[in-house]
Structure 1
């Protein structure tokens, strides 16, 4: 768990954009990202204060080294749990936001408002006053950064096909939160971009026919439960490092002085590439009734899943919204007789 929180903190601490809550999808999504960042910052600060107190007690010899180490581990575990619980609430907000976006309940930001509120490293020449009446030319870098949010359906390809799956097609979901950098490859042409970064991915699989996963030595099998399961879900959390070659069809703009400005994410875009990463955690969630009580069972195990992850991905869309496809080239489980590869399809939002 501490390793997972470390990667989450590293990822989210990179997202430092200050925004205000508005009615557009992009701005509301950024508010959620900022909330997640504040959660991790607050919990880390409290944990640091506790560790400082423990170190003081250790220096005063009021506790032993073994007691100090134990107290630090307990404090770190407590705040890791706190981060997980508080971030889970923000994830539910993001899930609702994406559904509203898909249903068309959220207005699009106008081109002018997006441009005026964009916080990124856009390569563009402009003139800026320096306070003494003179104006100097500033040339910014040609690399931009984007917050990536994605979500959709998730399933397993078995025997080269996703048909007749043992997992719910609309009930199995994936979510991705990431940060990417977009670098224009050619100096005087806006078509080709290198897009790279890192993402935290949640892949969920919900079994059908009242089944759940059981680890049987080096095999992981679906078995039928003797008790009716109202919920049966396997969740894998991955940290991946994607890289894409992006074709951005945004036309260049020439101002009244003949200066060329290269813009991004203003027209159609196509991205082709892949990713590598690691599976950080696997858990199974079961819900059922026993003796008139609702029981929620959480099972933590590796379930023989592959620790190393790699695959192919692509997206095609317009402006910040794209249709997104990911496919793991390595099987989900290490030693099963039949290879089962994870596949995800959904919407992706690259927010400047």
Structure 2
């Protein structure tokens, strides 16, 4: 049964399991009871259990044959593995049908509204992502025992990327020490989602890592200065009163791509294998390109004894198209991370300012 059919069946069960409150109007005696609808749906599940287990067995046998063709196991070992897989699938069918039969028996001897799922540790599951035991499908809704088995080989994996650290600007003709932005109070954050694909069939040394990220680059101005746009020219000027804080932030949506390389450990099981980079050194070199989706200057100061917070959005001539270089050196899931914008922060200026960030990056599986 395909995912769409399974989803429809499970939704029917879920909907019919909802307790129906009594209505003032009379119900036609010929109308099908809610218990009968549940029973019909469960019988449909029974019909499909055997077919699904046979499909799972075919996948396992194919994986065993591949190992045999690759010379990793002998013909005798392959035959034993196939017998064991067939035995397990037969037991799965027997156990799963017994569960369904018990649910049907409960419904047949009870009135409408009885919940056959009470106390049942199997039930239904909604899973998004690889999930427990590295399941094959990315999205699954259905019986927990019916979830798909592992794929024999996964060339592509996914993870969440989070990074933070110090942020500043490289300004043409001056050193970082002379930056008008406070080094200790200027920071950046990045949050994104990444895919990692093994480039070669029989080695995991080279990987391609790609995805999308939101980047927030922040600058805190020194010496009571703030940014002013004068006919398209962006410059720092002294604020007319004492500033408690002056910060400028750009928000970018970018699409990073890195060539990642480094050793990994191969983990081989009877029906699958994986490459693991857990506690392994890895290096990623590449870049990113994307769009600026916002800019804001935040000023905090006092005026006539009142605390003022002034937020100025847009109007700072920031580059709409952003691109740059980035790289990281990681041990396991934690990396030292550097990124540098080749595109200037402010477009069409006499002196270019280019964003630079240094910090820690977490690749969370």
- 2:186 corresponds to: 172
Q: Unpaired runs of 5+ in structure 1?
A: 1-115, 123-129
Aligned match of 2:294:
281
Equivalent pair of 2:197/2:208 in contact (CA under 8 Å): yes
Aligned-partner Cα distance in 2 for 1:216–1:141:
55
Q: Does the aligned pair in 1 maintain the 2:186–2:220 contact within 8 Å?
A: yes
Tell me, in whole angstroms, the C-alpha distance in 2 between the residues paired with 1:261 and 1:156.
42
1:215 to 205, 214, 229: 229
* Other-structure match for 1:65: none
Instruction: Indicate if the aligned counterparts of 1:309 and 1:328 stay in contact, CA closer than 8 A.
Output: yes
Question: Displacement, 1:119?
Answer: 7.7
Instruction: Give distance in 1, aligned partners of 2:135 and 2:210.
Output: 15
> Could you say if the C-alpha distance between residues 120 and 305 of structure 1 is closer, same or farther in structure 2, counting changes exceeding 3 Å?
farther
- Shift in Å at residue 265 of structure 1? 4.2
Alignment of 1:115-264 (within 5 A): 138-159=151-172, 161-255=175-269, 261-264=274-277
Q: Is the 8 A contact 1:322 1:348 kept in 2?
A: yes
Aligned residue runs from structure 1 range 105-120, under 5 A: none
Q: In the alignment, is residue 341 of structure 1 matched against residue 358 of structure 2?
A: no
Q: How many residues were matched structurally? A: 228
Gap change, CA 1:308 and 1:131, over 3 Å in 2: closer
Distance 1:188-1:237 versus aligned 2 partners, 3 A rule? same
Whole-Å separation in 2 of the counterparts to 1:261 and 1:284:
48
Secondary structure of the residue aligned to 1:163 is: helix
Cα distance between partner residues in 2 of 1:188 and 1:349: 27
Give yes or no for contact 1:120–1:145 (8 Å, CA) kept in 2: no
Contact 2:158 2:196 in 1 (8 A): yes
1:118–1:323 distance in 2 versus 1, CA, 3 Å: farther
Q: Is the 8 A contact 2:154 2:274 kept in 1?
A: no
Give 1:140 deviation, angstroms: 4.3
Counterpart position of 1:326: 339
> Map of 1:306-317 to 2, 5 A cutoff?
306-317=319-330
Length-normalised TM-score, structure 1: 0.60
- Picking from 294, 307, 312, the partner of 1:299 is 312
**Distance of 1:343 and 1:119 partners within structure 2:** 40
Deviation at 1:157, TM superposition (A): 0.1
1:266 Cα offset (Å): 3.7
Q: CA RMSD in A?
A: 2.7
Q: 1:230-278 CA deviation, whole Å, 9 max, x = no partner?
A: 11000101000000000132222345x6975312344111100000001
- 1:226–1:266: structure 2 CA closer, same or farther, 3 Å change rule? same
Secondary structure, aligned partner of 1:139: coil
